[in-house]
Each structure stands twice: as C-alpha cells, then as structure tokens.
C-alpha cells in the first residue's frame, strides 16, 4: 500500500522536531519518520553505568574512518535525536560568525544570511526551548533582548570561581541553558536523558506538542532508506522506508530532511539514480563534503585537598579568547564549565584504573570544555560504502588555535589554584557537533542548499539539520539549527502550504 501525506519530515531532532512543531498549525498532513523509538522514562536515564558503561541509549551502528577502521560514533537514534542527551547549552552564534573570519589555518567563510536575519528566529527558538540566561554580561554577545528566563544561579563553588576569574581580568558569563519547570539541577544532565522531562529538548518541547494535533503523524522505527526522484533527479515523489521488516513507499509533494549532518548527506548519496549517479541534489559535487565537528577537549582541574561539592556545575562560560588569543590576533575559541564527571565516565578513558581511584579524583575535580572552530575542507567528508556503511573521513584543522586555547585554559585553572589539569579529546572521532555536509549559499555551484535550505537542484526538498552550516563557529550549534528551522518553516508556509 502506498501512503500519502502533504509533508514528510525525516528525523525528529533539533532540526526535524523544531520544524514539525512550527508547521503543525498549518493543517497540512505531516508525517515524521524517525528511525529510533521513544526513550523510556526509567531509572537507567540517570545511571552512569547504564549510559557510559552499557551504552544503553547509544546506536550500535559502526562507521568507518578515513583509513577504513570501524568506530562507534557518539550518536543516538531516537525521538528527539541527540537533543535528548545534550547539555542544553543553547547559544546564538556571534554576529562576527556570520561573516568571513581569518583563523590561523585559513578563512572561516561567510554565511549567506547575517545575524540580523536570524535574530527574530533565535528569539523564537529560545522561547520554544525555554532558554535561561542573562544578557549584557558576555562581551562577545550580539545585540539581543532579554532571555525568556533568568539564568541558573551559580553554585557557591562556581560563584567563587567566577569571582576568581574576574580578578584575573577575565569576563565570565552565565551559560545559556534550556531547562524547564521541574528541573532539580542534578548532576546527570549532559549525555544523560532527563528522567523528569525537564530538559528542553526536541522530543518534549516540539515533537510531543506537535503530535497533539491530529494532522501530525509520527512513525517510529522507520528508517528512510532512499528518496525516490524523477528520472532527471529534479523532483522527489516518494521516500522508501524500512519499518517492521517491510519496505514501504510513502509519497508527498514536499520533503524535509533532518537526519543530522552525517545521515542526511548519506541519505542523499544513497538516493543516487542512473541519471544522477553522484547522488541527489549533488550537481555541485558538494554533498557530504566540508564536514566539521569542532575541536573539543574536556579538561578537569584537580586539587587534592579541595572537595568539589557542586552538584550542577555547568553554568559558566569564558569567551575572552573567542575573537583572539592573548598573543595572537586569531580566534582561539570558547570555554565552558561542564557537568560533573562521574567515575564510570572517566574510567571509559583508561579502564585499567580502579573505580575508587577515579572516585577520589573526580570528587576533587572541576570540569571544563575547551572548544575551537574547525574550518571547512573538501577532504573532510561523508561517503557511503558499496555495502551501505557510512565512511567519515576527517582530519582536524585549526589545531594550533585549539592547542593554544587548551594551554590558556590550563594556565587559568592553575591560576585558580588547581594542582593538576587533566585533558582528554576524542580528536577526529568526535561526532557530537557534526555540521556542514550540505552547505547553504547563493551559488548552486558552490553550495547544495539555497539560503532557505531548499536544495538548489530539487525544489521540493529542504534540509534543516546541522548540514547547512557553512562554518562551525565555536559555540554549541543547536540553537542555530532550531532558529533556521523556524525560518525555513515560515518560508514554507509562505511559498508551499
């Protein structure tokens, strides 16, 4: 049987969930296809063993790296996508991120839209995801109105650190966080599912409210295998879906792809036809290229005689090196405090060290993340193997900027009195902030999507996940994904529905 809808959205994370919510009031018959299922509310949501040792919610799918070695990507396939597990740090890009910026390793390219174009949608996205913050403190912050909610207050320990940072001449600011009513500020937020549904994520903020409307249907465990286009590859008529062991064909006049930057590129590549052997929407040859993921290093300042009694630690940002370093005119990146590391999490790095030793360590540690922009490069790309497996070829660039940021962060933590600073990076296997594989732009030869995220080659195809980023900036990506999804939804309402 062939089913028909008015709009088919593939993926239910930051991009797909947000646009489903935004289009749900149109009356259009919307089908959301999601390859995963709902994550149950259960004890294991907050269990470090279940989450970090048993990898209970992680996909078991293996990808290949550049050299053809298998690895387990840090990915979750479920309703809400990776937002279920995010740290809910919901940042706007800086105004400068929308222009071309010179970095140590090259130029971070300009976006086809500017900050002012996205600003009203940032405000709407912050309202939808109930972001808490304080404006006017972060010196890099672009012009904006008040946050929907007051910032989460710092714990006593973090407040002391903020005072120390200010005495060092730095400008710490509150992290913008999406936390809903009922949040108890626990120590199992980032990388965990919120058992109370108090984290602002796409499942609870968008997908469930959208499904309350009769015109919205969600199929879980529904894997979109291929988009089926006409012989010229210029119009999609249907999507081939694998569900409950069957292969179905579902038709619609409009398709919105939001599978995440890697899987969306893979879907378009898998949708190649004899007329379009290079893949769908790929006349530019850019589908899958320019993959970016941030350079990220987790750091922990340790003091043997200072017990850390903070429960919710993730409230502080340092953007003093966002536009330049102390000794360099080039941007270094962003520093943010992190959720508490649990001994089980730390043990995944060096499993031979006993848990009690990690316990002693992490109870005296304060956790930070140093994050730098990586630059788009044609060689960093997603491809699909003949057997359907995803290959992710990625060599980090702008490494020197990141090394300097890590060095600065270490210097600051030592100045705060920490005896030792431990650091760890997933390096080229970090997939959490993946973006850039279907870049948007005005030139069809140099981009896959137009500035409203419509495929240049295929007018009835939009892509609204992290794929469209021309550059990765150095703050967390998801609020920008959500804001652009809202902008695209307005455009679709004006032009298509």
Ligand X SMILES: Cc1cc2nc3c(=O)[nH]c(=O)nc-3n(C[C@H](O)[C@H](O)[C@H](O)COP(=O)(O)OP(=O)(O)OC[C@H]3O[C@@H](n4cnc5c(N)ncnc54)[C@H](O)[C@@H]3O)c2cc1C
Which residues contact ligand SF4 (rule: CB under 6 A)? 179, 183-186, 188-189, 192, 194, 196, 198-199, 312
Smallest gap from Cβ 60 to ligand X, in A, equals 13
Smallest gap from Cβ 367 to ligand X, in A, equals 14
> What Å distances lie between residue 226 and 36, 82, 210, 389, CA to CA?
17, 22, 25, 14
Which listed option, ligand X, ligand SF4, none, makes contact with residue 223 (CB within 5 to 8 Å by class)?
Answer: ligand X
> What Å distances lie between residue 432 and 34, 261, 408, 466, 491, CA to CA?
19, 10, 24, 11, 28
Q: Which residue is nearest to ligand X (CB)?
A: 13
State which H helix or E strand residue 116 sits in: helix 115-128
Tell me which residue of 448, 394, 496, 405 sits closest to 104, measured CA to CA.
405
Are 450 and 395 contacting, i.e. CB atoms less than 8 angstroms apart? no
* Spatial separation of the C-alpha atoms in residues 43 and 145, rounded to whole Å: 39
Beta-carbon contacts of residue 444 (< 8 Å; ≥ 6 apart): 283, 284, 450, 456, 457
Smallest gap from Cβ 418 to ligand SF4, in A, equals 24
Smallest gap from Cβ 13 to ligand X, in A, equals 2
* Interhelix angle 14-23/478-495, nearest 10 degrees: 30
Residue nearer to ligand X on the CB measure, 104 or 241: 241
Residue nearer to ligand X on the CB measure, 224 or 299: 224
Which listed option, ligand SF4, ligand X, none, makes contact with residue 393 (CB within 5 to 8 Å by class)?
Answer: none
Which listed option, ligand SF4, ligand X, none, makes contact with residue 466 (CB within 5 to 8 Å by class)?
Answer: ligand X
* Spatial separation of the C-alpha atoms in residues 103 and 150, rounded to whole Å: 34
Contact residues: ligand X, CB under 6 A: 10-16, 33-36, 74, 77, 81-83, 85-90, 190-191, 223-224, 258-261, 263, 267, 432-433, 465-466, 476-478, 481
Which listed option, ligand X, ligand SF4, none, makes contact with residue 259 (CB within 5 to 8 Å by class)?
Answer: ligand X
Ordered DSSP codes for 399-421: HHHHHHHHHHHHHHHHHTT-SEE
Smallest gap from Cβ 196 to ligand SF4, in A, equals 5
Which listed option, ligand X, ligand SF4, none, makes contact with residue 436 (CB within 5 to 8 Å by class)?
Answer: none
Residue nearer to ligand SF4 on the CB measure, 46 or 424: 46
Which listed option, ligand X, ligand SF4, none, makes contact with residue 383 (CB within 5 to 8 Å by class)?
Answer: none
* Spatial separation of the C-alpha atoms in residues 19 and 486, rounded to whole Å: 6
Residue nearer to ligand X on the CB measure, 122 or 418: 122
Which listed option, ligand SF4, ligand X, none, makes contact with residue 196 (CB within 5 to 8 Å by class)?
Answer: ligand SF4
The beta-carbon contacts of 234-242 under 8 Å, at least 24 apart in sequence, are: 234/457, 234/458, 234/459, 235/458, 235/459, 235/460, 236/280, 236/458, 236/460, 236/461, 238/2, 239/8, 239/10, 239/33, 241/33
Which listed option, ligand SF4, ligand X, none, makes contact with residue 34 (CB within 5 to 8 Å by class)?
Answer: ligand X
Smallest gap from Cβ 340 to ligand SF4, in A, equals 11
Residue nearer to ligand SF4 on the CB measure, 186 or 416: 186
Smallest gap from Cβ 440 to ligand X, in A, equals 14
Smallest gap from Cβ 186 to ligand SF4, in A, equals 4
Residue nearer to ligand SF4 on the CB measure, 178 or 396: 178
């Amino acid at each position: 049987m062939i089913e028909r809808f008015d709009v088919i959205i593939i993926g239910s994370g930051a991009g797909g969930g947000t646009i489903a919510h935004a289009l749900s009031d149109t009356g259009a018959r919307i089908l959301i296809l999601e390859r995963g299922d709902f994550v149950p509310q259960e004890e294991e949501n907050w269990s470090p063993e279940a989450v970090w040792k048993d990898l209970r919610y992680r996909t078991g799918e293996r990808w290949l790296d550049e050299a053809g070695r298998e690895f387990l990507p840090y990915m979750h396939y479920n309703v809400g996508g990776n937002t279920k597990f995010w740290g809910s740090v919901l940042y706007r890009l800086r105004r400068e991120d929308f222009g071309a910026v010179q970095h140590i390793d090259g130029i971070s390219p300009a976006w086809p839209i500017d900050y002012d174009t996205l600003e009203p949608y940032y405000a709407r996205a912050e309202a939808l995801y109930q972001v808490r913050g304080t404006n006017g403190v972060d010196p890099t912050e672009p012009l904006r109105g008040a946050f929907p909610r007051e910032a989460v207050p710092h714990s006593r320990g973090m407040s002391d650190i903020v005072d120390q940072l200010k005495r060092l001449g730095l400008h710490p600011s509150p992290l913008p966080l999406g936390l809903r009513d009922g949040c108890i500020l626990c120590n199992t937020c980032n990388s965990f599912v919120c058992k109370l549904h108090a984290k602002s994520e796409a499942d609870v903020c968008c997908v469930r409210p959208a499904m309350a409307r009769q015109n919205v249907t969600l199929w879980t465990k529904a894997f979109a295998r291929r988009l089926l286009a006409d012989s010229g590859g210029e119009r999609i008529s249907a999507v081939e879906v694998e569900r409950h062991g069957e292969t179905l064909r579902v038709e619609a006049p409009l398709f919105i792809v939001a599978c995440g930057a890697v899987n969306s590129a893979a879907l378009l590549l898998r949708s190649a036809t004899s007329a379009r052997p290079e893949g769908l929407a790929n006349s530019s040859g850019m589908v899958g290229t320019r993959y970016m993921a941030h350079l990220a290093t987790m750091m922990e300042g340790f003091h043997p005689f200072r017990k850390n009694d903070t429960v919710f630690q993730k409230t502080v940002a340092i953007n003093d090196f966002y536009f330049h370093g102390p000794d360099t005119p080039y941007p270094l990146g962003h520093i943010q405090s992190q959720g508490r590391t649990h001994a089980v999490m730390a043990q995944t790095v060096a499993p031979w060290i006993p848990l009690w030793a990690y316990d002693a360590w992490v109870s005296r540690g304060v956790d930070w993340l140093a994050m730098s922009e990586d630059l788009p490069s044609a060689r960093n790309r997603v491809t699909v193997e003949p057997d359907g497996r995803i290959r992710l070829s990625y060599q980090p660039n702008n490494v020197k900027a990141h090394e300097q940021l890590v060095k600065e962060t270490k210097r600051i933590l030592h100045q705060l009195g920490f005896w030792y600073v431990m650091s760890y990076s997933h390096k080229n296997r970090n997939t959490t902030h993946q973006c850039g594989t279907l870049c948007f732009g005005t030139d069809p030869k140099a981009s896959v999507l137009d500035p409203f995220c419509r495929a240049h080659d295929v007018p009835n195809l939009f892509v609204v996940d992290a794929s469209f980023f021309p550059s990765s900036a150095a703050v967390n990506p998801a609020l920008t994904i959500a804001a652009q999804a809202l902008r695209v939804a307005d455009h679709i309402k004006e032009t298509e529905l």
